[in-house]
Amino acid sequence: MSSTPWLLIAIAVILIIFLILAIIIKRGRQTPPDYYAFFWLGLIWTICGLPSFFAREYSLNGLFIMGIIFLIIGLVNKNKWKQNHRAWSQLSEKEKKLKIIVMTVLGVLVLAGLVVLLFIEKSII
């Protein structure tokens, strides 16, 4: 259990690095929000947060609340869904490569997190 603070610090450092990268990449470009993405993000987070009702004696958790907020934002702006939404075929080659790299890094981080969780559950770490 003593590894928990270091794990939280590592997650915070990774999030700060991603934030800095996002700021550097987006600097100078103003893009309107993709409300279609907000809707799907909210739907997924709401569904993932739903089990907290049963596991924690009907208490709301942050994932469920943020999911509801994103879902509402997406639905309120449904008329703007096609304004900024682009399909994979509409992306440039540079954007496709960047998205593949980001998805790969995030996938590896999720996999590493699951492996660490498994090791902690088996008392290996």
What tens-digit pLDDT sequence spans the chain (125 residues)?
566 677 778 888 888 998 898 888 777 777 778 898 899 999 998 888 887 766 765 556 778 888 899 999 999 998 888 887 778 888 889 989 988 998 999 899 889 988 988 888 888 87
61 within a domain of the structure (yes/no):
yes
Is residue 36 a part of any domain in this protein? yes
Domain that holds residue 56: 32-79
Around Cβ 125, how many Cβ atoms within 10 Å? 12
Domain for residue 45, yes or no? Answer: yes
Residue 3 lies inside a defined structural domain of this protein: no
For residue 39, is it within any domain? Answer: yes
Q: What tokens were used for 1? A: 């259990």
Q: Per the domain annotation, does 96 fall within a domain?
A: no
In a domain, 17, yes or no: no
Domain count, the chain: 1
